Amino acid sequence: MKKFLLFISLILGISSGYSQITFKARVSQRNITTDDRVRISFIAQGNSRNIYNGRLEAPSFEGFQAMGPFVSQDFLYINGSSFYKKSYTFTLKPEKAGDFTIEPAVFVLEDKEYKTRPIRIHVAKGEKPLAPPIVSQGTKQNPAESQNGTKDIFLVAQVTKNKPYINEAVGLTYKLYIPKSYGVQNYRELSQPQYKGFWAQDIDRNISGPFQGEINGKAYEYYILKKKLLFPQEKGKLTINPLTLSIDIQVPVIRQMGYFQIRDFENKRIKLSSGPKTLYVRPLPEEGKPLDFSGAVGQFDFFVNPDRNKVPSGEAVNIEVGVKGTGNLKLFNLPELKAPEGIEVYDPTHTEDVRPTFAGNKGTVTDKYILIPNHSGKYIIPSMRFTYFNPQTNSYETKTTEDIILFATGNNAYQSTSNLPANTGGGKDFRYIKEKQHLIEKSHKTFFKSRIFYILLGIPFLLALLFYLYKKIISNRIIDESKIQLNKRKSLAQAYLKEAASHTQNKDLFYSSLEKAIHNFLKAKLQIDTSELTKENIRKLLNEKKVDNKDIETVISILNNCEMARYTPFGAGDIRHDLSQTEKVINSINKQI
Amino acid sequence: MKTFYKFFYLFMLLGFQVTAQQTPFEKGNEAYKKGNYQDAINYYEKALSGEKHSAQLYYNLGNAYYKTNKIAPSIYYYEKALKLEPGDEDIKNNLALANQMKLDKIEKVPDSFSYKFKKSIALIFNFNTWAIMTVIWSFIGLLAFSLFIFSKKTNVKRVGFAWMFISLFMLLFSWYFAGIAQKIENEKYGIIFVPETEILTEPNLSSEKVAQLHEGTKVKLIDEADNWFYIKLPDGKKAWIPKEDIKIIE
């Protein structure tokens, strides 16, 4: 039998040697006060995967209130060999001052027991009064009933407002309340709320706590799991569906061990739900809603700031248009800057310096514009309005900025027109007023196309016509007169010729009559006056009229005869011949002219 | 005692004459010189209340409004001044500066070259001046005609004949441009006097919006109905606008 046992032990020894299991206890601190907590870990380590099947028999932790254990399993690979590790961690809260010994813990694996060494911990008196002894409500005699222990754990969703306006900031907090005696090990989100109808932002993703709280007069500890900032986007009833958690907790129980009652903790995994949360979202009032309202809700300041007011034309001015305050800062558009015709405006750069709070996003959003005046001159950036709804006063409020006046100074247009846009035509300077005025009637009578216009326009034409007619009548009359004269002279010539014929006996009278007859005839024919009746002139004029040379000579010789007969005593030629010659030549010339 | 009253009246008369010598226009100029632009505006407006007006008065008023940063009235009075003196460089210069301040940037549909050319000639004078020129040329024509028909000297006749045709041509030329200038001047324009307004497809407030216009923009008035003007923008768009938003340049 001994041999057999030896054999067994040998095998076991081999196997135990093979499995090489160590079991140790580690403590974070050995000297603490009653205010502190101490963490104790029991770590089993071996090269077999088997170790995960092991079981811990925790000591009683006398003098301490224990939370845990937190169990972790690790796998290590060191220098070509694998190690498996299983650790149990408890958090211990001293109940009173004094020296305490933590009894050895036992690790049971395949009927073998491994023990740790006892650990002594010195607890000094802390500054805070000790918490009163815990009345462990969750403690039940029968572990099977411990399901009821979850009644003491709450997951609560709290909102800052139940009836917000559309776009008004709502803070949402998820709090986990647990009795002080309980321990929380782990939690996992089973279902994330869908914030349908909301614009949701995280304020804080991390768990914080524990904080002290109270529910129905009972003291609780609570943890804040999440903080959210919500902006409702739809009016009416909006429901946030619940957050569901799976939590590993430790419920204190009292175990009946023979005659002893042992305080212990029981590990449990429970499911918790925050329950749906319903908000009644109010629409923004229609009454008094300004036309330019763009959906901003909160408390804001509005500013429009240029970096300078005087600028050489062609250079840039920066103008910041921004809203500062608390509210739905990221959810509305800033008013757009309107620049005058002569200024080039570039698309703004948007900056946000905002952090989320329960009251809304807090900070500043800014649009930065770059403006370049094309020409020199004065420009007005008109005043801008920003309208928002203030949920605190339940009314719309408007912030207005002043007009901004920019002066673009003419950069030396003579020297540097090249860097100006082509259409500037150089800088223009404002011209001064005029000192003198030229007043005219306001009721301007339109002269053009008026009756007087047509009359004045017609007068010259009428006059021209009259002048023309006048001229025609005058010239007619002149012609008539000359005709009359001609006839008169012709008849005179005939008369004198007759007279000459009657004076054939009297030489003087005959020739003077004959001369007068010829003169009158020539005067009528050549349209000349008596003064022009020289022989040379007569010859010349008759030549011009292309009268036969023979006739001209005849006329001249007759005129010579006349002079000879009248002014000299010498007897003249044949009177009858001269008379007939004269008649002949007059007829002949009459035919030629 | 009587002599005292006589003197008193004399002084009164003198005093009255001294003040009467300075017209509101001159007072306005004085205020402007001192930089009291609002006073200047008041004086100029007073000067306008009479039966007479002048391009210079409108120009100075436009200047005073420019100085006080009032865009619409400034542009409005420059436009009025320009209507009386279409060729004045100072008015054009300051109008261009005032136009820089307005907000609307409307692309202008360019006129055809021939129309632009004709328009630039037509606007050298106002149409009444063109009409007077027409009449003058008709009289010059008469003179030339008279020279032609009455002179006995052939040289003078020739000159008269040539001038007869020149003046006939010039007469028709100025008559033609008087017509164009009148057509241009009879086009009614208005300046938008409200900071911001919407123009609509129909003359009622519920109709569709065509565009948004701002103070100082000049629009052509085509038609009217009740309290609405039918307008044409420089880019060719047509729409309706409430009458109270606009001031007509008359």
- pLDDT of A142 reads 35
DSSP string, A116-143: PPPEEEEEE--SSPPPPPP--TT--S-G
Distance from CA of B223 to the nearest CA of A (A): 22
C-alpha distances in Å from residue A361, one per residue of A232, A325, A326, A327, B21: 14, 8, 5, 5, 68
**Bridge pairing between strands A277-281 and A236-240:** antiparallel
Contact A428 B93 (CB under 8 A): yes
- pLDDT of B9 reads 62
Contact A142, A183 (CB under 8 A): no
- Report d(CA A59, CA A104) in Å as an integer: 6
Please report residues of A whose CB lies closer than 8 A to that of B171: 457
Residues B123 and B200 reside in one and the same domain: no
Contact B142 A460 (CB under 8 A): yes
Q: Which band of pLDDT confidence, cut at 50, 70 and 90, is reported for residue A561?
A: confident
Contact B90 A441 (CB under 8 A): no
- Report d(CA B136, CA A94) in Å as an integer: 123
For residue A170, pLDDT beyond 80: yes
Q: Which of A70-84, A377-391, B173-187, B196-210 has the lowest mean pLDDT?
A: A70-84
Q: Which of A144-148, A272-276, A314-318 has the lowest mean pLDDT?
A: A144-148
Q: Do the domain assignments include residue B57?
A: yes
The tokens describing A39, both together, are: 């963490």
User: What's the mean pLDDT when you consider all of chain A?
Assistant: 79
- pLDDT of B163 reads 94
Q: Kindly report the CATH number assigned to the domain that includes residue A373.
A: 2.60.40
| Burial (CB count within 10 angstroms: exposed 0-12, middle 13-18, buried 19+), residue B211 | middle
What ipTM describes this predicted complex?
0.71
DSSP string, A293-323: --SEEEEEEEEEEES-SEEETTS-EEEEEEE
For residue A311, pLDDT beyond 50: yes
**Residue B23: Cβ within 10 Å count:** 16
Residues A30 and A154 reside in one and the same domain: no
Please report residues of B whose CB lies closer than 8 A to that of A382: 103, 195, 214-215
- pLDDT of A245 reads 85
Range of the domain at A529: 481-592
Contact A444, B125 (CB under 8 A): no
Q: Do the domain assignments include residue B204?
A: yes
Chain B residue with Cα closest to A434: B56
Q: Do the domain assignments include residue A460?
A: no
Across the range A306-333, mean pLDDT stands at: 89
| pTM, full prediction | 0.55
Contact B182 A449 (CB under 8 A): yes
Compute the 3-state secondary structure of chain B and give helix, strand, coil in percent, each to the nearest 5: 60, 15, 25
Give, as one character, the DSSP assignment of residue A98.
Answer: E
- pLDDT of B4 reads 60
Residues A225-242 pLDDT 10s? 888 899 999 888 888 888
Please report residues of B whose CB lies closer than 8 A to that of A460: 138-139, 141-142, 145
SS3 assignment, position A181 = coil
Q: How far apart are the first and last CA of chain A?
A: 194
- pLDDT of A147 reads 38
Chain A residue with Cα closest to B106: A341
- Report d(CA B249, CA B246) in Å as an integer: 10
Residue A25 sits at the vertex; the CA angle it makes with A19 and A29, to the nearest 5 degrees, is 155
Q: Kindly report the CATH number assigned to the domain that includes residue B214.
A: 2.30.30.40
Q: For residue B83, how many C-alpha atoms fall within 13 Å in the half-sphere facing its CB?
A: 24
Contact A340 B100 (CB under 8 A): yes
Please report residues of A whose CB lies closer than 8 A to that of B55: 437-438
Residues A417-432 pLDDT 10s? 444 443 444 457 888 9
Give the length of chain B.
250
Which residue among A424, A444, A462 closes a domain? Answer: A424
Across the range A506-532, mean pLDDT stands at: 80
Long-range contacts of A484-488 (CB under 8 A, 24+ apart): A485/A524, A486/A524, A486/A525, A486/A527, A487/A524, A488/A524
Residue A178 region by backbone torsions, left for phi larger than 0, else alpha for psi between -120 and 50, else beta: beta
Across the range A163-170, mean pLDDT stands at: 91
Q: Do the domain assignments include residue B46?
A: yes
The tokens describing A407, both together, are: 């002066």
Which residue among A281, A310, A340 closes a domain? Answer: A281
- pLDDT of A314 reads 80
Residues A321 and A231 reside in one and the same domain: no
C-alpha distances in Å from residue A193, one per residue of A199, A276, A280, B221: 13, 9, 18, 61
Please report residues of B whose CB lies closer than 8 A to that of A461: 138, 142
User: Is B68 an 8 Å CB contact of chain A?
Assistant: no
Q: Do the domain assignments include residue A23?
A: yes
More confident residue, A369 or A178: A369
Q: Do the domain assignments include residue A570?
A: yes
Q: What percent of chain A has pLDDT over 70?
A: 88
Compute the 3-state secondary structure of chain A and give helix, strand, coil in percent, each to the nearest 5: 30, 40, 30
Nearest Cβ partner for B101 among A340, A453, A459: A340
More confident residue, A563 or B148: B148
Maximum Cα interatomic distance, chain A, rounded to a whole number of Å = 226
Q: Do the domain assignments include residue A7?
A: no
